[in-house]
A = this chain, B = another copy of it.
Amino acid sequence: MADLLGSAGEMSELALAQDILDHYASLDDAGKLDFLGHLAHDMNIDPEAVRSALEAYEQAPSKRSYRAFMQAAEPPRQELIRRLNRVPGATGALVGMRADLLRLSGDDPELAALDLDFRHLFASWFNRGFLVLRPISWESPAHILEKITAYEAVHAIQSWDDLRRRLRPRDRRCFAFFHPAMPDEPLIFVEVALTKGIPGSVQALLTENRTTLAPETCDTAVFYSISNCQAGLASVSFGNSLIKQVAADLSAELPGLTRFVTLSPIPLLTTWAKAEGIAMPDDPEARRALAAHYLLHAKERGNAPFDPVARFHLGNGALVHAVHADADASPNGQAQSGGVMVNYLYDLAQVAAHHEDFQTKQKITASSEVTSLAKAGAQAVTAER
């Protein structure tokens, strides 16, 4: 690999890079871990070199001394990864390499540092300005649809018929971000239902027997499923951009849309309740109240919401709009939250202010109905103890 950073000409460089990628692809997990360990250990920064380059720069700041510092302060593996990326199709392979790294790295601090380098490069390469938003429809290529089915992480797509039901009707939309260097690989996608009023059950949304609505008559866009597709792009965040871009585009196309909400799972409600020693109530209203309390007040260390989906949407500037019992009848929905789901509302005019409040004051905005519900939930919890 050092050769790739050496002086060889471009053609041989490309051939060498291809060889390295091919070699990596042929390795088993133990071999991959060796390879990644080599990057982590042998292509790290040299603190002594950083220190002396820094001092030289401090004493005489110049183009030359700054360049020397830049080179010393960046581990050689970053340049290696950039050179591997010159090969056609390499971007996807490198995303896969990071997926391996995340899967295999365990607690190793050197591998964790390597991961930060990957993430640093990917954040630059997958910059929002480079992403392309594409609608996904029943007219999309089958090999893309096959991946949508495979990557759906919230409400599993059961079959091609199920997929058709989510894509073909005029009141159903789907959008994905793609990167030009990975044209066949969605990075993240969102499924949207256009509705009249805010729905309180995902099974009602996805049922076979429903009447398609004319999009012009709908007032609400429901983001009912958001799935990240690439394990190797973890923590390189697209979801916020995707939701806001899709909301802006739909709003321009269909001026009748006045509300943009999610219909979201509450994945850790049961887990939290168990840890707190609270039994999941049988009464639907009590379940709603408990969920409202949880969403507004359950925190992890650092004062962030305990629930990861809440963390995501509230961090984007959404507010907690409504909570529904008996909203997800699937076994998974029953297990994770007793079937309770939540609508987060994206009020495009307020989203920046809510985000600011959330980031700086940890303030969670909620509708007055949910706020009342959460109070009832808090009292029940106290009473139970």
> Which A residues contact B (CB, under 8 angstroms)?
7-12, 45, 47, 50-51, 54, 57-58, 61-63, 66-67, 69-70, 73-74, 82, 85-91, 109-110, 112-113, 115-116, 120-121, 123-125, 127-130, 132, 138-143, 145-146, 160, 164, 167-168, 180-181, 240-241, 244, 316-317, 348, 351-352, 354-356, 359-360
Residues of the B chain whose Cβ atoms lie less than 8 Å from the Cβ of A116: 63, 66-67, 70
Which of the listed residues A138, A139, A181, A352 has the most CB atoms from chain B within 10 Å of its own CB? Answer: A352
Alpha-carbon distance A354/B7, docked complex (angstroms)? 12
- Can you name 8 A-B residue pairings with CB atoms under 8 Å? A9-B317, A9-B351, A9-B355, A10-B355, A11-B352, A124-B124, A124-B125, A132-B180
User: Which of B90, B132, B142 is A138 in contact with, Cβ under 8 Å?
Assistant: B142
User: Which of B125, B132, B139 is A142 in contact with, Cβ under 8 Å?
Assistant: B139
Residues of the B chain whose Cβ atoms lie less than 8 Å from the Cβ of A120: 70
Residues of the B chain whose Cβ atoms lie less than 8 Å from the Cβ of A127: 82, 85-86, 125
Which of the listed residues A61, A62, A127, A355 has the most CB atoms from chain B within 10 Å of its own CB? Answer: A127
User: Which of B54, B123, B140 is A50 in contact with, Cβ under 8 Å?
Assistant: B54
Alpha-carbon distance A11/B318, docked complex (angstroms)? 12
Q: Are B140 and A109 in contact (CB under 8 A)?
A: no
User: Which of B50, B180, B244 is A11 in contact with, Cβ under 8 Å?
Assistant: B244
Q: Are A88 and B11 in contact (CB under 8 A)?
A: no
Alpha-carbon distance A69/B95, docked complex (angstroms)? 24
A302 to chain B, nearest CB (A): 14
Alpha-carbon distance A123/B11, docked complex (angstroms)? 18
Alpha-carbon distance A67/B317, docked complex (angstroms)? 27
Q: Are A10 and B113 in contact (CB under 8 A)?
A: no
User: Which of B12, B73, B125, B129 is A90 in contact with, Cβ under 8 Å?
Assistant: B129
Alpha-carbon distance A355/B61, docked complex (angstroms)? 34
Q: Are B316 and A9 in contact (CB under 8 A)?
A: yes
Residues of the B chain whose Cβ atoms lie less than 8 Å from the Cβ of A51: 51, 54
Q: Are B47 and A58 in contact (CB under 8 A)?
A: yes
Apart from A10-B240, A50-B50, A63-B109, list 17 A-B contacts with CB within 8 A.
A7-B359, A7-B360, A8-B355, A9-B317, A10-B241, A45-B69, A50-B54, A50-B73, A61-B110, A63-B112, A85-B127, A86-B129, A121-B124, A125-B130, A130-B130, A139-B141, A142-B167
Residues of the B chain whose Cβ atoms lie less than 8 Å from the Cβ of A88: 129
Residues of the B chain whose Cβ atoms lie less than 8 Å from the Cβ of A86: 127-129, 241
Alpha-carbon distance A54/B129, docked complex (angstroms)? 32
Residues of the B chain whose Cβ atoms lie less than 8 Å from the Cβ of A12: 352, 355-356
A349 to chain B, nearest CB (A): 10
A295 to chain B, nearest CB (A): 20
Alpha-carbon distance A348/B9, docked complex (angstroms)? 11
Residues of the B chain whose Cβ atoms lie less than 8 Å from the Cβ of A58: 47
